[in-house]
Structure 1
Amino acid sequence: MHPSLPPSPPPSSSSRPALPVLPGRPTPRLLDQVRDRLRYMHYSLRTEQAYLYWVRFFIHFHGRRHPRELGPAEVEAFLSMLAAERRVSSATHNQALSALLFLYREVLGAELPWMQQIRRPSQARRLPSVLTRPEVHALLQAMPEPMRLVARLLYGTGMRLLEALRLRVKDVDFDRHVIVVREAKGNKDRVVMLPHSLAGELRAQIAHARVLWQLDHRQEQAGVDVPHALANKYPRVGQTWGWFWVFPAPALSTDPRSGVVRRHHLHEERLHRALKSGAGQTGLDKRVSAHTLRHSFATHLLQAGTDIRTVQELLGHSDVSTTMIYTHVLKVAAGGTASPLDSLVAA
């Protein structure tokens, strides 16, 4: 069982107020409070699942003691265990720390001095895996539909995988040949190009999606999931054609948050499997993932002379320094500097 939250102490001047409890209702369990707070602040389902995992792990690691009873020594002991025994990556380590900081700040209402003193591990900047143009072509040719279309969209626009799978019909503009990416990383919208070579296939995919939308409409199924409180303001907006998925799943599924049975978009695991199979068929020895197509998109644009600021906007990077990593990839790919060994052999 999850630990129960004891009565909240009066907030001090250095803490935020804890979540209120309605009179006459029992205090919810701690993990339920974490979940409610995450949803109130519109965190994604994946972040919710990850944070709940780390909070639960932290509590169990310290013998199911309540986090109010724990302090900096216990937090650092937990993080040290992850680094020394579990050997987690710096990204995973940072995620666990973020979950604990969210627990103390946003749920328990504690902004304590020691929370500012915990240092995050530095993340090494690794050069991304990038495919050559012939490798991209061979990989895409080896993939089955509709995953080939998704992969071509990723390489052709630089979108992240979930940005492509969550694409709505209303956000594809065939007249202007642009795609509007909604609620991307950092909750920002941006615009990317719609490759002319994909227009016909995308129209066919949307026509297929409309068949499923009409089927759901006739069967009076619940509409697709829509952002935040939009469904409260417009109860039937999720049933409109414009909000339907460009890449709908073939079958209905249960929404993990609301429990409503509705049509979701294609599951990302389908593309992962198709990429792995395609890489095996083409004999690629590089690491290939959905993000590899995004990396290849950026690198090939820069190779073609596209301005780095334009690439930054297309990728949705907040800082151009993030985009600069691809200039290092170009230096490696160019290989134009002669080694002194070559001149020695020639002599």
Structure 2
Amino acid sequence: MNEWSEDYEEGLEAFLIWMKDAGYTPYTQKSYLVDVKQFLESLNGKKLESVKKLHVISFLTSVRERGVSDATRNRKHASINCFFKALIELELLLTNPAAGIKKSKTEINREPVYLDEGDLGRFLSSIDGKYKGRNLAVFLLMSYMGLRVGEVHTLNLSDYNVERHSLRVFGKGRKWRNVPIPEDVVPFLDLAIEERLNPWRSKEEAMFISQKGRRLSIRGIQQIAADTFDRFQKDVPAAQRRPYSSHKLRHSFATMLLRKGADLRTVQELLGHSSIQTTTVYTHITSREKEEAMSKLQVQI
């Protein structure tokens, strides 16, 4: 541990214990700890009980000035807020200086990034390599069932109900949900399970196994997606390439459902959102749809 963080060792250890007890995934634990350590480093040894809201805002401002995205800035704020919330619950602190700080709102003005059905088909056709069957199943679960990267990572063989063609998914907030598997996806999932790599531990229950014989990691899924998106856009000039990522597959799923007439509440349930407000981010209106709507108007003079 770095010298600057020795005074914060108790708080960091308590925070990690709190996250484990609350059921946070190892990936989230790691991300939150990295964010919090960056913040603590900016305090220059100031005691936690002396930290004020100004110090948190100052850190977030410096993060923004370094050019990070609004989403990253908001995540760092969430990490710090969670850190102080944990220490209050564990009776190590009395106040949360990160509470009440507004999220960045500028990101809602950006053009939403997702793939329409045609692009999605071409993306799936770009999947290649020795583990094509496994990777295709992974991305079908994300693009045609709306699973998060972390949810695919945590899937076990026992979560697949073969008779009902459904998956039991462990999502955010430690909540389970059952998601029906589209008939067109079933054969690809069955094939991926049939071709499942041998895990190095005989009792490994993970549905998707890496080439090293371990549960396919979140970072591994993200890297496979990045490589596939690179092939998908290889003929597109660099300046015109879109910032696709694995999460955009889930985004594409929600957009497709809504465009096919699914109601917002159903999409909320399928995505595992606790609040329907979160689901409304997917209700984009494209230029084509606006033009079609306006074409229906007739001026009568």
Question: Is the shorter-chain TM-score for this pair beyond 0.5, marking a shared fold?
Answer: yes
Inter-partner Cα distance in structure 1 for 2:98 and 2:146: 37
Instruction: Give the C-alpha shift of residue 169 in structure 1.
Output: 0.9
**Counterpart pick for 1:202 among 157, 173, 189:** 189
What is the match of residue 264 of structure 1? 215
Instruction: Give the C-alpha shift of residue 299 in structure 1.
Output: 2.1
Inter-partner Cα distance in structure 1 for 2:185 and 2:47: 54
Inter-partner Cα distance in structure 1 for 2:158 and 2:44: 51
Is structure 2 residue 59 aligned with structure 1 residue 59? no
**Counterpart pick for 1:178 among 124, 144, 166:** 166
In the TM superposition, 1:263-282 aligns within 5 A as 263-266=214-217, 267-281=220-234
In the TM superposition, 1:118-129 aligns within 5 A as 118-122=101-105, 124-125=107-108, 126-129=110-113
What is the match of residue 320 of structure 1? 276
Inter-partner Cα distance in structure 2 for 1:42 and 1:321: 24
In the TM superposition, 1:35-54 aligns within 5 A as 35-54=16-35
Which residue identity does 1:75 align to in structure 2?
Answer: V
**Counterpart pick for 2:93 among 110, 117, 135:** 110
CA distance 1:54–1:290, shift in 2 (3 Å):
closer
Inter-partner Cα distance in structure 1 for 2:156 and 2:142: 15
8 Å Cα contact 2:14/2:87 also seen in 1:
yes
Q: Matched residue of 2:173: which SS?
A: coil
More helix by share: 2
Q: Matched residue of 1:336: which SS?
A: helix
Instruction: Give the C-alpha shift of residue 285 in structure 1.
Output: 4.2
In the TM superposition, 1:128-147 aligns within 5 A as 128-144=112-128, 145=132, 146-147=134-135
Is structure 2 residue 247 aligned with structure 1 residue 247? no
Is structure 2 residue 106 aligned with structure 1 residue 155? no
Which residue identity does 1:319 align to in structure 2?
Answer: S
The alignment covers a number of residue pairs equal to 281
Q: Matched residue of 2:195: which SS?
A: helix
**Counterpart pick for 1:298 among 254, 257, 261:** 254
Inter-partner Cα distance in structure 2 for 1:282 and 1:323: 33
- The C-alpha deviation readout for 1:139-165, integer Å capped at 9, x for no partner, is 211212132222222222121222223
**Counterpart pick for 2:70 among 69, 72, 90:** 90
Q: Percent identity?
A: 25
CA distance 1:106–1:165, shift in 2 (3 Å):
closer
- The C-alpha deviation readout for 1:226-258, integer Å capped at 9, x for no partner, is xxxxxxxxxxxxxxxxxx112111214xxxxxx
Which has the greater radius of gyration? 1
Unaligned runs of 5+ in 2: none
8 Å Cα contact 1:192/1:314 also seen in 2:
yes
Unaligned runs of 5+ in 1: 7-27, 218-222, 225-243, 253-262
CA distance 1:37–1:212, shift in 2 (3 Å):
same
